Amino acid sequence: MRLLEETIQRIEGLDEVMMEKARERVDSLIKPPKSLGRLEDIAIQLSGITGKLYPVVDQKTIITMAADHGVYEEGISGNPQEITWAQTLLFAKGLPGVCAISRVSGAKVIAVDIGIKGDIPEDAGVFNRKIKHGTDNMVKGPAMTREEAVKSLEVGIEMANQEAKKGANLLGTGEMGIGNTTPSTAILSVLGNCDLLEITGRGAGVGEGGIEHKVAVIRKAIELNKPKPTDGIDVLAKVGGLEIGGMAGVMLGAAANRIPVVIDGYISTVAALIAIAIEPKAKDYFIASHASLEPGARLANELLGIEPMLTMDMCLGEGSGAALAFPIIDAAVSMMAYMATFAEVGMEI
């Protein structure tokens, strides 16, 4: 708990003075006002985060949290739970989708076992930060204790701190976990006070009972555990997931280190909602990558209050959307560094 508290205390607002300087430069570039749209907003945000007029984001890392879920016992997924274990082993080999996409921008991808059911071999190239072998079944009680939820947040913070010390200046969040749209939707329902039928989707493959069964399972878990919407840690503990807590921790850690963090799709966005429930100022450091195809994604983005930059009909997870967004952030940085102003080329406006 101490690391979480210390991290929260380190999160400060953006550098408003530098943002104003960045805004003045963007407005003076050789282009019609606002003609580069979101690129301009990103550049200004990066200046506010880093305190630099010309930010640098040349060392990128996506931190993918992997964990399993006890609620899988309820038949909410049509995929074998063992896929979490098997797929996580492929990250160090560079074979999953997020790794392939990350090659475009030269981003590093690291996988973290924060709660996989089963042991990952020590030589697999996966960071072992396991808290437990999957969450407990949330229809029979809390998914985890409050202490375990805090630990999941602190694992994420530790990973963000580790990468910051290695020189990372842009982070992305990702996840791997069969069945994790179920706790994500439970969290969203609690925080957004919304109808489960409107936000529950198929995920990577819904079980034989279909959407109706998945909804019934989530509703039962919420009614049993009664998570408090005003307490993000309580919601995470009662109906959440270890990888969701881990991603929220990465986001808080990024903000404390004044590093921008790119949010992936639906599950990462739900993790971002947990993060800002714990410390609202962290939101200033977030960049939303893409609009997931999951039914709850739109509401999650609306609650977060950050519009995703891409609509690509994606719902893979892993951090794939964050990886795809990295080159756009590179473009915003390049615009700031290399595009001339009217004054610099001797033109009057």
Express each pLDDT in 25-42 by its tens digit.
Answer: 999 999 999 999 999 999
Q: What is the 3-state secondary structure (H, E, C) of 139-203?
A: CCCCCCCHHHHHHHHHHHHHHHHHHHHCCCCEEEEEEECCCCHHHHHHHHHHHHCCCHHHHCCCC
Q: What is the CATH number of the domain that holds 30?
A: 1.10.1610.10
Q: How many CA atoms lie within 13 A of 259 on its CB side?
A: 31
Tens digit of each residue's pLDDT (9 = 90 or more) over 203-222: 666 666 677 899 999 999 99
Residue 349 lies in a domain: no
Are residue 41 and residue 79 in the same domain, yes or no? Answer: no
Tell me the mean pLDDT in the region 235-243.
Answer: 98
Range of the domain at 203: 60-329
Place of tokens 């009680």: 141
Non-local (6+) Cβ contacts of 21 within 8 A are 47, 53
Q: For the CA atoms of 280, 116, 192, 160, what is the dihedral angle to 10 degrees?
A: 20
Lowest pLDDT segment from 18-22, 39-43, 198-202, 277-281: 198-202
Are residue 200 and residue 236 in the same domain, yes or no? Answer: yes
Give CA–CA dist 132/44, Å, rounded.
Answer: 41
Residue 335 lies in a domain: no
Picking from 253, 322, 334, 349, the residue whose alpha carbon sits closest to that of residue 101 is 322
Tens digit of each residue's pLDDT (9 = 90 or more) over 104-156: 999 999 999 999 999 999 999 999 999 999 999 999 999 999 999 999 999 99
Are residue 10 and residue 80 in the same domain, yes or no? Answer: no
Per the annotation, the verdict on 318 as an active-site residue is: yes
Residue 345 lies in a domain: no
Please give the tally of structural domains in the chain. Answer: 2
Give CA–CA dist 13/239, Å, rounded.
Answer: 30
Amino acid 347: pLDDT: 87
Q: Among residues 175, 243, 294, 318, which one is catalytic?
A: 318
Residue 303 lies in a domain: yes
Please state the length of the chain: 349
Q: What is the CATH number of the domain that holds 241?
A: 3.40.50.10210
Tell me the mean pLDDT in the region 59-78.
Answer: 95
Give CA–CA dist 224/137, Å, rounded.
Answer: 12
Give CA–CA dist 303/322, Å, rounded.
Answer: 19
Amino acid 205: pLDDT: 65
Are residue 110 and residue 9 in the same domain, yes or no? Answer: no
The answer to whether the predicted template modeling score (pTM) of the entire model surpasses 0.85 is yes
Are residue 198 and residue 140 in the same domain, yes or no? Answer: yes
